[in-house]
Structure 1
Amino acid sequence: MSVFLICMVIALFCFNCKTQTNQETQNQKTLFNDNWQFYLQENEEVSLGELPEAKWKSLHLPHDWSIEGKISKDNPSGHFGGYFPGGLGWYKKSFEFSKAWKNKMVSIIFDGVHKNSEVWINDHYLGKRPNGYVGFSYDLTPYLIEGQNSILVKVDNSKQPNSRWYTGSGIYRNVWIQAKNKLSVPLWGTFITSKNISEASADITIETSIMNHDSKSENVEVLFEIYDMNMKLVSNAKVAGLVESQDTLKLSQSAQVINPKLWSPESPHLYKLVSTIIKGNKVFDVNQTSFGIRSIRFEAETGFWLNDKNIKIKGVNNHHDAGAVGAAVPDDVLRRRLEILKEMGCNAIRTAHNPFSPEFYKMCDEMGFMVMDEMFDEWVASWPWVEYKNRGKVDFGYHLDFEKWAKKDLTSVILRDRNHPSIIMWSLGNEIPDQCYPEGPERLKPLLKLVHDLDNTRPVTAGCCFMHLANDSGFSELLDVAGYNGGGGSVFYEKDKAVYPNRKFIATEIPHSFQTRGVYKTITEMRSPQQGIPVPNLTEVEVFPEFSGFYSSSYDNSSVRISARDSWRRTDSLPYVSGEFRWTGFDYLGEAIKGWPSRFFNFGIIDLCGFPKDTYYFYKSQWTDEPMVHILPHWTWPGKEGQTIPVWTYSNCDEVELFLNEKSLGTKSNKGKLNLSWDVPYISGTIKALGKNEGRVVSEQTYHTAKKAFKVEVITDKSEVLADGVSCVHLEVNILDENGNFVPYADNLIKFEIEGPANNIGVENGDPLDLASNKINQRNAFNGKCLLILQTTKEPGKIKVNVRSEGLETGEVFILSKLSA
């Protein structure tokens, strides 16, 4: 029997499959994204019986209707939502009852619906879930019928604003159908922890719930088998128990892994637990759970430790949208974004300010990102300078649902995510105004207890601005690790360290710096410099007056309270500060703090297209070891001949030498420096930086002054792609001159002609002021660049894209879409 089971489990074992199937039990978890119909309601008074048949359109999930809509100053989302539309939408799907579901428990799982979703199956009401970011499921079993069945979902995102950023609207994450035996492991029913971790061994504790929906009690055995990434069995154990009818049994079992391979950002090794429920000679369920073995701890004097190594958290905050595709983010788009961060040296991400998709955590596990998993942006209260009432940051935000739903939503997130080794902290909120009041600690205590009860292996934090008020209320002292946001002068840790010597520190949201790709200003723009470390002007008179006030300087002299350089210098030099999560990694839609007509503000060090800005290379110089040097600004400034331009370099080399038209402007030591600067009178030609170690050139960057735009260059991230209806290709478009030099000021209108089995799912250029649709086959270049994202259909074939611009030489690419890799 044991040989049979082991062979069967190995055959089933798959680290990356989207459908989990067992032939004997026919338990399944299957994507349910295809062939939905959607109707965007125009009249708020429409009832279920009045839904018009003629106005439904066919689509595949995930789907975000806001990104498809028109940006307008009149949209009630306002600057919070980037002036995108909300609304009320309906989704429906008809499907055939599967013979494989006979005598099974069948459920539908939604990974995310924004927001206020209500679900019906065959006209039976299943329930409501207000939170737009939390996954949930419903049992369909009692209502399914032989033959045709129908799911109906109402999504109400009409009350705006309900967030301080762009949320998207609709069923914007995956939907699944799961069929399981009546005796099986329920959704999120396994919890795996590790302790006593050394090079020699690690003790694994497995807690598993067994549900029994049958009419009689059952004696069962559960076989636990742990496999490494090479599918090698490394440990096993067995436990038995009696599961009462219509009840759930919780079992706990220990196992040991010899010579464990520890999970870390440099070596993200994963294990797979296969849990098999057996009664007699019959297998009732096979459940798979990915996990990692690693130890974490925060120390008051030395900060963060991973696997007994003291390291700095080098993190970014990110929102859940991805620019041109809105909130419905395909896996390939998400993975590309993570790869860009990884190349920069980033090792951690804070989910600002809500749980992300399951695919995000899976990728972080696989790629080696540590995660601060955050839950809320508001609880109940408003800020102290507003008349104190039970209201939140925006009119229709989560404060309306907090009292009824907070514990249930929090429980769902902890149970879903707690097996991910990437998650090193839970965050209960971001800049929660309640922190400033006596009620704040009282609201915090039950949430803390709930998290600790569900998972006592990770610390709990919250991002606190106005830390002096959180200190006065006692809020910050209740946290396992105190999270410092930059607001209200919360950038000086030394004062709190003296008062609270046992406090554990993490910079949850510092710094807030602004930059627009390709934009430079020499006069500093800082908000609240008196509460931080001011950055002096680079020149007495602005060298670049031509840039709009809606755009921000890429010199790291545009920020709130503290620059990127000063923030990291302090974080890196104070051993008790565990690390920092800067605001933000990527630009994100909404929170357009300068107002109409901008659809976002440029907090990111990477733009909406995924194109790095100059500050990206500052972090790369501090967070990576492979020799690099980066120059800013570019060297195409017609009309500025003779004007002195500050030229900076970011580098991790020992020294940097700068050349202008092959003449050396001097070598400067880079040791202990965060950037180097030369004042260079502008003359067209070539500027070059050489990074040197021990006098030897190990890195180089060169800019050539560009002539007028001459041709379109297209760069794809794939030449071959799967014809699966979900895979994506990114096409980076650059405007070049006749010599192949990048034209950094080009704004030509780019038109895309797409032939073959692929669809345009988004165009973008990174310009906050470009209000054109993301869903049409054209886009103006912004500072020389734009992006097209294609998604395949399920038909194989050759994809051809012509990229045209009037008066320019055309760019052309071919991509092969195949049925298998």
Structure 2
Amino acid sequence: MGTTLFTDGWSLQRLPGAAVVPVRLPHDAMLAEPRGARGGTGTHGGYFPGGRYRYAKRWTAPDDAARRRLSLVFEGVHGRTVVQVDGVPIGRCASGYREFTVPLHDVITPGGEHLIEVDADNREVPNSRWYTGAGIYRPVWLENLPEVHLPRDGVRVHTHATGEPTLVEVGVDVAGPAPDSLTVEVRLGDAVRATAPVTGGTAELRLAVPEARLWSHDHPHLYNTTVSLLDGDVVLHRRTLRAGLRTLHVDAERGLLVNGEHILLRGACVHHDSGVLGAATFRASEFRRARILKANGYNAIRSAHNPISRDLLDACDEIGLYVMDELTDTWYQSKTAHDAAPDFAATWRDDARAMIGKDHAHPSVIMYSIGNEITETATAQGARTARELHDFITRLDPHRPTTVAINLLLNIMATRGKSPYRLEEEPAEQPKPSRITSTAANVLTNRLGAVMRLISQLPVADRVSRDAFAAVDIAGYNYAFSRYLGDRRRHPGRVILGTESMPGDLPRIWPLVERVPGVLGDFMWTGWDYLGEAGIGTWAYGDQPGGLHKPYPALIAGPGAIDITGLPGAPALLARAVWGELTAPAIAVRPLDRSGQRTLRTAWRASDAVPSWAWRGCEGRTAEIEVYSADDEVELLLNGRSLGRRRPRRFLARFRTPYQPGELVAVGYRDGHESGRSRLTSAGPARLRLVAESEALTADGQDLAFVHIQLADEDGTVEMLAADTVTITVAGPGHLTAFGSAAPQTEETFTGDTHTTYRGRALAVIRADDQPGTITITATSRRHGTATAELQTRTP
């Protein structure tokens, strides 16, 4: 039978006493909870409450269960978890991001019906600094294996040397009582085959691959690989995977080498939530995110601040993105009132073991982070802990380097006895701050980036980080690029990586990445926007409250170069210009409905501009236009009239003009010659439109279609200020699973069928059922008419 999805036929009850409702996994139980100013997660989790949830499923064991090894594999459950069969606890997990396996074979009866229950207790909140979701948010699998078998993560692939041929080492673990007669066969692609005996539960194989096609971000070639466990000619068990061949080397002089080629990491920090889907992890959503990030110039992902999902790993393998997989956001010291710090000593080894087992065979994974902004690293005990984690991980995987992401300002604060994290409960009510307090907070919020840069240059910054950095292979700097040159002189053997940075700092960071030996690249906070940390990167206008965290109904963090619906904004355009990824100047415009209003900025977002010239009703208002370009000069034309030429400063040229509808054109010049041009236009009369990213789905109960709801003219130009309320209905073999927008503040839910557009847009996510056929989506608005779209679902 092998490994099969175990996601259908579940029910959910919110304890105590709520109604029992059917659900299909993966599922985020928190997303449907009512938000409010008293929501227990506070700004951290977007004002959602905590809760305790019980998932239940009746299941009939196979008749041959006595001769098989049956188990359930949970890729992720958020909340303190207890798994029961027929009321008897058989497994527990306290780590919300750890994959764990629960054996079934000792507690079931062959052919018998059993009740499986999963209790996820997420009542104690906030337990994280971002939106976590709750419940069984990642897939569950049923493993039905022979007594002697290949375990789930028992294959390790390491490319020993490239050349002709390329030499590959494959380690294979065998579980169960293995007789001496067993062998393992590995087939790589159609032509390469090797066998080896099983000794001590392991087989070690060497393959010589002629004319190998190597894996990299530019050429993500994967080999279909089959691993078979044999007793003579009899196949006892078989697993398949997609293997990539690549070498990896890091040192302080040559930096990062993949297949001998020097690589600079153009990185995106990415949280685990999926926007309007909440924390629920779907393969289609993870692949979509990887595709959009790659299309916007990124070549790397930092999984912040927890182990990455299997589906996103597969996507990075296939699409070509390097991965820094991160273990945790906390060690022994808490950052929120109910986080995982008290469990760290008891859980970190199992967490690390699960992360590395998952990552072993993935070529996209190039390093491990042992922690993020861990202030204990400023102490001798913290440095010892860093060394302990590094040594443990390196024993499990000696072929990938480790890093730790340190915020030097926070480390300095910690050595002075000042906690940089608020551990008290959020207040029940959030009073509006006084003008004086508000102004001070806004000034500090806007200048936090500069403050962190300045303080990180102090001599004490080296003292509070050097021992922890010495314990790992790569020193991870959060918001401290100003130290790169000096620290390379002070520590000539140090390898440096920008593990977290403000998107607006990239023009100053990237020249250092390019010219300072041993600096591997940069990861901006963030590539993709996320739920929680409400308003940290959201600008406020007029009388709206500013500051670092915004009051309810703030929901979205706001620093993402790409918003939660997958739409890139000005930070993405800046990054592409810096990286040389633009073929023409890119235009963005500050929101014209906010023109002339008091603006309260935040350091985590350099610009609120969006790529649109469709601002009906704003005629005559001053338009602030940003043109992102690596050209020598940029000219801007409005309806054929030149607004002048500008030399971009740090890849940005600014223009101001009274807004008038029509066509806005940016022309780039290099060496006096035109190098490219781009255009934005205003919109004609807007009507409701549905634009599906794909027209076909797999009828497997898991595939998703992403449908853009737009208030746009007949050419598809979205009118930015044409807000409307839209209701979605779905007919056929599919259903609406999420519906929402990128509005930074909203009291609407993502789980209903009605939502208000934001900047003329919303996003509906349709989940396929199990039957092939035609799905018809109908959207009805109050003022912009009705629109329909059809999707086809096909048999897997």
Q: TM-score range by the shorter chain?
A: 0.7 to 0.9
1:601 aligns with 2:557: yes
Higher mean displacement: 407-416 or 455-464: 407-416
Is the 8 Å Cα contact of residues 290 and 312 (structure 2) preserved in structure 1? no
Q: CA deviation at 1:151?
A: 1.4
- What SS does the aligned partner of 1:732 have? strand
Matching residue's letter, 2:488: K
State the alpha-carbon separation in 1 of the partners of residues 359 and 691 from structure 2.
36
Q: CA deviation at 1:403?
A: 0.9
TM value normalised by structure 1: 0.82
1:350-372 per-residue CA deviation (whole Å, 9 max, x = no partner) reads: 00000122111111111111000
The 1:641/1:188 distance shift into structure 2, 3 A limit, reads: closer
TM value normalised by structure 2: 0.85
State the alpha-carbon separation in 1 of the partners of residues 720 and 672 from structure 2.
32
Q: CA deviation at 1:333?
A: 1.7
Is the 8 Å Cα contact of residues 481 and 509 (structure 2) preserved in structure 1? no
Paired residue for 1:279?
231
Unaligned runs of 5+ in 2: 409-455, 535-548, 590-611
- What SS does the aligned partner of 1:255 have? strand
State the alpha-carbon separation in 1 of the partners of residues 661 and 196 from structure 2.
76
Is the 8 Å Cα contact of residues 115 and 132 (structure 1) preserved in structure 2? yes
1:744-759, aligned counterparts within 5 Å?
A: 744-759=720-735
Paired residue for 1:209?
173
Q: CA deviation at 1:448?
A: 1.0
- What SS does the aligned partner of 2:388 have? helix
Paired residue for 1:809?
785
2:567 to 592, 608, 611: 611
Paired residue for 2:510?
568
State the alpha-carbon separation in 1 of the partners of residues 716 and 526 from structure 2.
32
Is the 8 Å Cα contact of residues 297 and 305 (structure 1) preserved in structure 2? yes
1:771 aligns with 2:747: yes
The 1:690/1:398 distance shift into structure 2, 3 A limit, reads: same
The 1:71/1:818 distance shift into structure 2, 3 A limit, reads: same
1:375 aligns with 2:320: no
1:233-632, aligned counterparts within 5 Å?
A: 233-234=191-192, 236-241=193-198, 249-381=201-333, 392-466=334-408, 468-469=460-461, 471-472=463-464, 474-486=467-479, 489=480, 491-511=482-502, 513=503, 563-592=505-534, 593-623=549-579, 625=581, 627-632=583-588
Is the 8 Å Cα contact of residues 344 and 624 (structure 1) preserved in structure 2? no
State the alpha-carbon separation in 2 of the partners of residues 289 and 721 from structure 1.
23
Q: CA deviation at 1:422?
A: 0.2
Paired residue for 1:38?
12
1:33-82 per-residue CA deviation (whole Å, 9 max, x = no partner) reads: 1101111103xxxxxxxxx6x83222111111101111111121111111
Is the 8 Å Cα contact of residues 185 and 285 (structure 1) preserved in structure 2? yes
Q: Pairwise CA RMSD of aligned residues? A: 2.3
Q: CA deviation at 1:439?
A: 1.2
- What SS does the aligned partner of 1:586 have? coil
State the alpha-carbon separation in 2 of the partners of residues 36 and 704 from structure 1.
49
1:127 aligns with 2:94: no
1:99 aligns with 2:63: yes
- What SS does the aligned partner of 2:358 have? helix
Paired residue for 2:131?
166
- What SS does the aligned partner of 2:298 have? coil
State the alpha-carbon separation in 2 of the partners of residues 629 and 291 from structure 1.
39
Is the 8 Å Cα contact of residues 36 and 58 (structure 1) preserved in structure 2? yes
Is the 8 Å Cα contact of residues 155 and 360 (structure 2) preserved in structure 1? no
Is the 8 Å Cα contact of residues 668 and 675 (structure 2) preserved in structure 1? yes
State the alpha-carbon separation in 1 of the partners of residues 345 and 44 from structure 2.
24
1:660 aligns with 2:660: no
2:613 to 624, 635, 656: 635
- What SS does the aligned partner of 1:143 have? coil
State the alpha-carbon separation in 2 of the partners of residues 683 and 189 from structure 1.
63
1:188-222 per-residue CA deviation (whole Å, 9 max, x = no partner) reads: 22222121222x12222222222224xxx622232
State the alpha-carbon separation in 2 of the partners of residues 84 and 268 from structure 1.
40
State the alpha-carbon separation in 2 of the partners of residues 374 and 656 from structure 1.
41
Paired residue for 2:452?
none
Matching residue's letter, 1:233: A
Paired residue for 2:764?
788
The 1:610/1:811 distance shift into structure 2, 3 A limit, reads: same
Is the 8 Å Cα contact of residues 757 and 792 (structure 1) preserved in structure 2? yes
The 1:470/1:184 distance shift into structure 2, 3 A limit, reads: farther
Is the 8 Å Cα contact of residues 665 and 678 (structure 2) preserved in structure 1? yes
Is the 8 Å Cα contact of residues 344 and 623 (structure 1) preserved in structure 2? no
1:4-27 per-residue CA deviation (whole Å, 9 max, x = no partner) reads: xxxxxxxxxxxxxxxxxxxxxxx5
Is the 8 Å Cα contact of residues 641 and 684 (structure 1) preserved in structure 2? yes
1:223 aligns with 2:188: no
The 1:88/1:729 distance shift into structure 2, 3 A limit, reads: same
The 1:409/1:637 distance shift into structure 2, 3 A limit, reads: closer
Matching residue's letter, 2:3: K
The 1:624/1:818 distance shift into structure 2, 3 A limit, reads: farther
1:476-497 per-residue CA deviation (whole Å, 9 max, x = no partner) reads: 12110000111xx564312222
1:204-260 per-residue CA deviation (whole Å, 9 max, x = no partner) reads: 2222222224xxx622232322323xxx122x2222246xxxxx6223232221221
Is the 8 Å Cα contact of residues 465 and 490 (structure 1) preserved in structure 2? no
- What SS does the aligned partner of 1:62 have? coil
Paired residue for 2:546?
none
1:385-424 per-residue CA deviation (whole Å, 9 max, x = no partner) reads: xxxxxxx101111111101111111111112212110000
The 1:189/1:712 distance shift into structure 2, 3 A limit, reads: same
The 1:203/1:704 distance shift into structure 2, 3 A limit, reads: closer
Paired residue for 2:703?
727
State the alpha-carbon separation in 2 of the partners of residues 685 and 736 from structure 1.
15
- What SS does the aligned partner of 2:285 have? helix
The 1:639/1:491 distance shift into structure 2, 3 A limit, reads: farther
Q: CA deviation at 1:799?
A: 2.0
Matching residue's letter, 1:361: L
Paired residue for 1:387?
none
Is the 8 Å Cα contact of residues 302 and 578 (structure 1) preserved in structure 2? no
- What SS does the aligned partner of 1:262 have? coil
Matching residue's letter, 1:107: S
State the alpha-carbon separation in 2 of the partners of residues 418 and 445 from structure 1.
21
Q: CA deviation at 1:298?
A: 2.1
Higher mean displacement: 803-812 or 649-658: 649-658
Matching residue's letter, 2:67: N
Unaligned runs of 5+ in 1: 1-26, 43-51, 243-247, 382-391, 514-555, 557-562
1:657-736, aligned counterparts within 5 Å?
A: 657-668=635-646, 674-691=651-668, 699-706=676-683, 710-736=686-712
The 1:739/1:506 distance shift into structure 2, 3 A limit, reads: closer
Q: CA deviation at 1:664?
A: 2.5
Higher mean displacement: 451-460 or 113-122: 113-122
- What SS does the aligned partner of 2:91 have? strand
Identity %: 29
Q: CA deviation at 1:779?
A: 1.3
State the alpha-carbon separation in 1 of the partners of residues 714 and 141 from structure 2.
52
State the alpha-carbon separation in 2 of the partners of residues 659 and 816 from structure 1.
43
Matching residue's letter, 1:297: H
1:87 to 51, 59, 62: 51
